[in-house]
Structure 1
């Protein structure tokens, strides 16, 4: 007899009438994994002031022992490509990368699609009204949720000029950054009213490109809320019902790090609560 393991977790795929989430079992053999990560390589997009990813060959080819062997070394900034922002990135004394609990890196995903309102406005700041529009359809964002904002910006990757607003490098280029992000008001609402675990965007920053004060970062990270940046593939997730797993490189004392972020979408969740 084939035994199917049933895993139970707090799913936001089914909501009771008051909007509160209820635990739902799902069969991990019935559904799909979605990779939400860009690969690291020569075209990976980095902040204009950060060094880009580099891969150097240590050894590659047939050995004297008659077998093939390859090994490489790489260099990268913490904050480039699909990566995690640890709370200490903008909040003194908060979690560094290795201190983030696994429970804060995994959990039910609330996917808020704002692609319709940002597509013609690179300076758009996602507001409380955008979250309210989602909640009117799907119920309140539950405490402990992993909140992902789908702007559609990932479709511009890896064209840095379209994705960042500039393909120039250096400090002067930061004044030319243009992409949507989270408003301070929305960050405050999520941190204080919804008590979430993380915020992720398919853009280069939690704050919009023209920000100079990085208020959304500061508000969220003061509450030990994690950031995921340069996420991709969010169009493949339902608004509710997916389960997120976001595991960064465990850098001791790090302010962030390269991230492999994935989501499991149970078959029953694929048709739940479409936007």
Structure 2
């Protein structure tokens, strides 16, 4: 019996669309199967790396990562391992509905069907350049619909403020770099009216922002959080690279760390371009 694996007709599964798989012939490791290669070419990473510079809410603990073992082992082979600790709400992350919605879903309870959906990117960069505390308005959502059609059911609506250009400078991004200072925060967010409009008139799965919070920096009552989370809608915060995603046509996939009972957690977000 020949040991040449190239002669064996091995089949592999390749993802060709969200939730769709086909069988393709396995290829050499350095060459991804055609459908998978095509999918990867359309993928945009919307996640900031977690490290010592990751921005967290001023009152939360920052990201900690420590090497426990890193180097050649006694057995002569390489071995690397580390520990990490972090608050749930920092860096690119998801706010579970329970974050501001009593009795709503925790991080582990959000179904996958709600974590994958059409991306609705609402561009308000010009308005945010004029006003650091700009709030996404109902008018902005209606303008998006005039240009692209009705917001689809199950959509993930994301505000594009252009704030990613300030990452990871906490003073520029948040408005203050003083630990514990929540009194001098200035960045765009979602207005109460826009949040209520989405809840009352559309059936969205999630709402995201490329800033530190769904609510604008000066907010003290966090009404966008309360309205959206209270209706079972999760939030995505500190979403990266939105300048690479079109306003309509992409698919968003947001997979949070599955923390049982969690009010949120670090999340890998990707967009699949049309």
Q: TM-score, normalised by structure 1?
A: 0.86
The 1:111/1:64 distance shift into structure 2, 3 A limit, reads: same
- Could you tell me which residue of structure 1 aligns to residue 59 of structure 2? 49
2:173 counterpart SS class: helix
Kindly state the Cα deviation for residue 8 of structure 1 after the two structures are TM-superposed.
7.0
2: CA distance, partners of 1:176 / 1:249: 30
User: Which of 120, 125, 138 lines up with 1:115 in the alignment?
Assistant: 125
User: Which of 140, 151, 159 lines up with 1:130 in the alignment?
Assistant: 140
- Could you tell me which residue of structure 2 aligns to residue 164 of structure 1? 174
Kindly state the Cα deviation for residue 67 of structure 1 after the two structures are TM-superposed.
0.8
Structure 1: tracts of 5 or more residues without a match:
10-26, 267-275
- Could you tell me which residue of structure 2 aligns to residue 61 of structure 1? 71
- Could you tell me which residue of structure 2 aligns to residue 256 of structure 1? 264
The 1:74/1:120 distance shift into structure 2, 3 A limit, reads: same
2:183 counterpart SS class: helix
Q: Which deviations, in whole Å up to 9, do the C-alpha atoms of 1:117-138 show, x marking residues without a partner?
A: 1112111111001111111111
The 1:71/1:100 distance shift into structure 2, 3 A limit, reads: same
| Equivalences for residues 1-275 of structure 1 within 5 A | 7=17, 29=38, 31-170=41-180, 173-266=181-274
The 1:62/1:102 distance shift into structure 2, 3 A limit, reads: same
Q: Which deviations, in whole Å up to 9, do the C-alpha atoms of 1:126-167 show, x marking residues without a partner?
A: 100111111111111112101111100011000000000000
1:38 counterpart SS class: coil
Task: Kindly report the root-mean-square deviation, in angstroms, between the aligned alpha carbons of the 2 structures.
Answer: 1.8
2: CA distance, partners of 1:57 / 1:110: 40
Q: TM-score, normalised by structure 2?
A: 0.86
2: CA distance, partners of 1:264 / 1:204: 23
The 4+ residue runs of structure 1 with deviation greater than 3 A are 2-9
Give the structure with higher Rg (CA).
Answer: 2
